Structure formats: C-alpha cells, structure tokens
Amino acid sequence: MKREAFAFARDFDTAPTSELCVDRHYLLCASRGALRLEAHGKSWVLPPARAALIAAGEPIQVTIPQPVTTSSVLFDPDFAPEPSTPLTVFDLSPLARALVSECDAWPDADEPLPPYARSVFAALAAVTWRLAQQPSPVTVPAGHSPELRRALVLTDGRLSEVVRFEDIASEVGLASRSLARRFEDECGMTWRAVLRRMRILRAIEELAAGEESVTNIAHGVGYTSLSAFNAGFRDLTGRTPTQYRATFRP
C-alpha cells in the first residue's frame, strides 16, 4: 500500500507547457526559479516562498520558463481534505516552509508512515490549507476564445517593447472595439490592465531567476520609469520588488 502522504524534490530545465494531473492533492513549491501555472482561465507565477495547492484529479497547465527546483508534497484524498478551490497559489509562512523541509525525509514507499511522520504531514496540511484561504492576487486572466488567447500570447511576447493595442487587434483579425469587448467579457478587465499584470508577473520571474538589478528588470519588462514600476509592483503584490525578492530567501 502506498504511503498516505510523501514528499520529493526535483530539478527541472526550461520546458514548454505541459499538462499536470495527479490522483492526490498536490502541494507544489519552488525553492529556486519560477513556474507558470494555468487553470480555469487564470495564470499564476510560482516563485520561491510561494506554494500551489492543486486538488486531486485537477488538470493544470505548467510552463517552466527558467531552470527551477521544486519541493512537492502529495496527500492521499483520504488523508487530507478536499481543497476549497481546484488551484490556489499563496505565500508560505516560516512554519509551512519548515514543515515542507521536514517532510522531505519521507519519499514515496510501500511502507506506511511512522507516527511522527504522519503528524508532520497532518500539520503541514492543516497549515497550508489555512494559508490557501488567502490566495495570491498576482494572477493574469488566460482567456477562452482563440482570438483572445492569441492576443494574450502576442502581448506577452512584447512586454519589453512599446506595444499598441491596435496592432494586437489587427494581428488577431478583430477590430479594436471588438477585442476590447473580449477582454472585458472574458477577463473582466481592460487590455491595459492585463498588460500591467503581465509585466509584473514577468518581473517576478526575473527576480526569481537571479540577481539582476531591479532597474534592469523594470526596463526589461517595458517600464521607462523605476518609480512607476515600483508603484505598480507594490499595488499588485503589496511589496516593493526588493522586498518581494527578499522573501525568496529563508
């Protein structure tokens, strides 16, 4: 009989989008680099010090834009309760990080967990399920229609440039007014608001990738003003870029 909970860590190179679906509740954490996750019309970035809680049997799209190290903990549905949402990304507390590290001692195996290990996994589930009640606001709508999804791909590929909405609309074959309605209907926000979020998410990936200066990252994601970048970053994350990067470290 497989263990009711187990942990493992892995290193991944960059990889295109693929589907992940497992038969256990999945707590996915990045300790180095960042992942992109997509499900139910939303996209998240998962940098260090954050976790994704994925319900058993829930398919999600995973993209690895840079080398990444992950720590994962899987829970049998009979061991941990059903998460309140299919996918939630949230900040890990110091206690949660310590429990994830402690769980590393018990990989998948046929032997049952010893009593101490069961208590550690149970404590991790209790802590992280509660943390998941305060999800990260750093999300970008993924869209549904082919035209909107194409518009999002085109926009994402031009974050470092001066990108014009009219050009995006023309390339997807829609009038600007029609594409604007698609953004309002499918994303619940304007293209300009989505663009700002995309730039912040890309900045988070760059902050997780190494020690590039905040100024260079700001310019690399299309900001000409460092103060505007800092203000936009704080509006979405509640922290400055420097403060956010500091949370990656234990």
Q: For position 142, what pLDDT does the model report?
A: 85
Give the C-alpha separation, 242 to 158, whole Å.
24
Q: For residue 16, what is the enclosing H or E element?
A: strand 15-20
Mean pLDDT, range 82-93, rounded to an integer:
94
Mean pLDDT, range 218-241, rounded to an integer:
95
Mean pLDDT, range 227-248, rounded to an integer:
94
Reported as a single tens digit per residue, the pLDDT across 2-24 is: 799 999 999 999 999 999 999 99
Mean pLDDT, range 157-182, rounded to an integer:
95
Q: For position 113, what pLDDT does the model report?
A: 95
Q: Determine whether 118 is exposed, middle or buried from the number of CB atoms within 10 Å of its CB (0-12, 13-18, 19+).
A: middle
Mean pLDDT, range 32-38, rounded to an integer:
93
Mean pLDDT, range 92-109, rounded to an integer:
95
Q: Determine whether 162 is exposed, middle or buried from the number of CB atoms within 10 Å of its CB (0-12, 13-18, 19+).
A: exposed
Strand 60-64 relative to strand 35-39, pairing? antiparallel
The residue with tokens 């967990």 is 113
Q: Which domains does the chain carry?
A: 5-131 (2.60.120.810), 144-246 (1.10.10.60)
Residue 1 pLDDT class (50, 70, 90 cuts): low
For 97, the 3-state DSSP assignment is: helix
The residue with tokens 């505007």 is 228
Q: For position 143, what pLDDT does the model report?
A: 83
Reported as a single tens digit per residue, the pLDDT across 50-72 is: 999 999 999 999 999 999 999 99
DSSP β-bridge partners for residue 28: 52, 72
pLDDT, the chain, mean = 94
Q: At residue 41, does pLDDT exceed 70?
A: yes
Mean pLDDT, range 225-248, rounded to an integer:
94
